[in-house]
Chains A and B, each alone.
Chain A
Amino acid sequence: MSDVFELDDVIGAGDGWIGEIPAGHLLRITDLHGNQAVDTLLYDARDYADRYSAIDTIREQGAVYLSTGSVLLTGNGEALATIVDDTCGRHDTLGGACAQESNVVRYGGHTRYQPSCRTTFLRKAREWGRGLEKRDLGHNINFFMNVPLTPDGGLTFEDGVSAPGKYVELRMERDVLLLISNCPQINNPCNGFNPTPIRLTGRRP
């Protein structure tokens, strides 16, 4: 991996990003306009089979939401990254990514050809190549998304707890391949029914 790492990109509404971030570096994701879900997958850059695992991350921290101090684990229990700063306070990792097929299930056949996060994930993974396939798309993180899980067993998508300028910052614990879909969903409140751009900034600590 290159010794030089600089990142400052604005990801447009409904667009995506894929790239490697070296161990020890910091990545900040900023919700420029507020209420914008950022669907995120992480892989060990040396072994894509060892990828972010939502269920292992949830179980090992004993809690369903992500915030400062949450360690993002692979299925082998390896730390990919740690959330070191968070001005939003709560992020989802249970809601998954929208897809054309799940949109049909959730909202009906008229949504079949709308943009979706999985379409973005697949497009970016194909651009990246290097053996990535659909089966490498595990359960993602939804930064800035609010999916309350209630003691009586409810789970719903609600209005975001984020606001313009809120950010979350990750420290990479190993070389990481990062795949992002800036969610285009317009059928539920996860983006306030209005997908907006986000900013990615990376730096050495």
Chain B
Amino acid sequence: MTGYVLEMPGAAADSLRLRRHRTLTLHCLGPGTNVAALIYALDDRTERLNVPDTLKAQMSASIAAPMALMSDMGRALASVTGSSLDWHDAITGHGLPGVDGAREGLLGELWKHGLGARDLHANVNFFSKVTPVGDQRGTLVYEPGYATEGDWVTLRAEIDLLVVLSTARHPFDPSTSGEPAGVRLEVAEGSAPGPDDPSRSFRSETARALELAERSYA
């Protein structure tokens, strides 16, 4: 068997292993879908997504294709091979305890894997857009209704991964009516990035992160 499909309702949490070069596609199922994602290297879970390294190396304030998601050890964890959206938030996190956010669900999944609060890091919020208005404070504005049913994003694992997900509402989402829509996860067989892969060609920094990932399997 290669690949499967899984539907997560809103306000749920889950975790999965994603093998190298498999793809994970997230499909937005309706209004309010937000997927908070924490990502770890399966072979060393102290190695994890590093949002500052990812953004500064690729000169971007958000996650978009064909960027690589980089670990604190310089390896590309995954590449964003495509998306119907050109902005996925990575700078506003997952909410404080006691509010109806992702934190409790993420911590619950982490505990199942022997991980905990010390392993939390800045997550990506797929399907959410939060932009700076450009003032002196760097004031942020959330875009309501940014993602709609049918929007998607595909990741290609560059090393074996542990991915921890929550479909709780984005902390800035002002909606209060019921639960947010969920997400359909599709895991499929992919292929290794070739010499002309769009992520490799995107920036020399992205190419070097892919090379560091490849070296660990050399």
Interface, chain A (partner B; CB < 8 A): 48-50, 53-56, 58-60, 62-65, 67, 75-77, 89-90, 94-97, 99, 101-102, 104-106, 108, 118, 133-139, 147, 149-151, 153-157
Q: Is the CB of A54 within 8 A of B122?
A: yes
Instruction: Point out the residue from A56, A65, A96, A139 that lies within 8 Å of B96, measured CB to CB.
Output: A56
Instruction: Point out the residue from A62, A90, A94, A133 that lies within 8 Å of B52, measured CB to CB.
Output: A94
Residues of B within 8 A of A139 (CB): 50-52, 121-122
Q: Is the CB of A64 within 8 A of B91?
A: yes
Instruction: Point out the residue from B91, B95, B120, B133 that lies within 8 Å of A151, measured CB to CB.
Output: B133
- Whose C-beta in chain B lies nearest to the C-beta of A148? B138
Stretch in contact with the other chain, from B10-18, B19-27, B67-75, B186-194: B67-75
Q: Residue B82 at the A interface, CB < 8 A?
A: no
Report the minimal beta-carbon distance from B185 to chain A, rounded to whole angstroms.
24
Interface, chain B (partner A; CB < 8 A): 46, 48, 50-53, 55-57, 59-62, 64, 70, 72-75, 87, 91-98, 103, 116-123, 131-134, 136-140, 171-172, 204-205, 208-209, 212
- Whose C-beta in chain B lies nearest to the C-beta of A156? B59
Residues of A within 8 A of B92 (CB): 55, 58-59
- Whose C-beta in chain B lies nearest to the C-beta of A188? B56
Q: Is the CB of A138 within 8 A of B140?
A: no
Residues of A within 8 A of B95 (CB): 59
Residues of A within 8 A of B94 (CB): 55
Report the minimal beta-carbon distance from A204 to chain B, rounded to whole angstroms.
30
Q: Is the CB of A155 within 8 A of B55?
A: yes
Instruction: Point out the residue from B87, B122, B137 that lies within 8 Å of A55, measured CB to CB.
Output: B122
Residues of B within 8 A of A106 (CB): 56-57, 205
Instruction: Point out the residue from B91, B121, B171, B205 that lies within 8 Å of A138, measured CB to CB.
Output: B121
Instruction: Point out the residue from B53, B138, B171 that lies within 8 Å of A96, measured CB to CB.
Output: B53
Residues of A within 8 A of B171 (CB): 59
Q: Is the CB of B208 within 8 A of A151?
A: no
Q: Is the CB of B55 within 8 A of A76?
A: no
Give the CA-CA distance A94 to B62 in the complex, in Å: 11
Report the minimal beta-carbon distance from B136 to chain A, rounded to whole angstroms.
7
Residues of A within 8 A of B57 (CB): 102, 105-106
Residues of B within 8 A of A54 (CB): 52, 122
Main secondary structure of the interface of A (DSSP, over half): loop
Report the minimal beta-carbon distance from A202 to chain B, rounded to whole angstroms.
27
Q: Is the CB of B52 within 8 A of A105?
A: no
Q: Is the CB of A105 within 8 A of B97?
A: no
Residues of B within 8 A of A67 (CB): 137
Give the CA-CA distance A60 to B172 in the complex, in Å: 10
Give the CA-CA distance A60 to B139 in the complex, in Å: 11
Residues of B within 8 A of A102 (CB): 50, 53, 56-57, 70, 72, 74
Q: Is the CB of A64 within 8 A of B140?
A: yes
- Whose C-beta in chain A lies nearest to the C-beta of B107? A75
Q: Is the CB of A105 within 8 A of B59?
A: no
- Whose C-beta in chain B lies nearest to the C-beta of A77? B96
- Whose C-beta in chain B lies nearest to the C-beta of A55? B93
Report the minimal beta-carbon distance from B115 to chain A, rounded to whole angstroms.
9
Q: Is the CB of B138 within 8 A of A63?
A: yes
Q: Is the CB of A154 within 8 A of B51?
A: no
Q: Is the CB of B205 within 8 A of A153?
A: no
Q: Is the CB of A150 within 8 A of B93?
A: no
A135-B119 in contact given A63-B140, A64-B91, A105-B205 (Cβ < 8 Å): yes
Residues of B within 8 A of A136 (CB): 118
Report the minimal beta-carbon distance from B46 to chain A, rounded to whole angstroms.
5
Q: Is the CB of B52 within 8 A of A96?
A: yes
Give the CA-CA distance A89 to B122 in the complex, in Å: 25
- Whose C-beta in chain A lies nearest to the C-beta of B52? A96
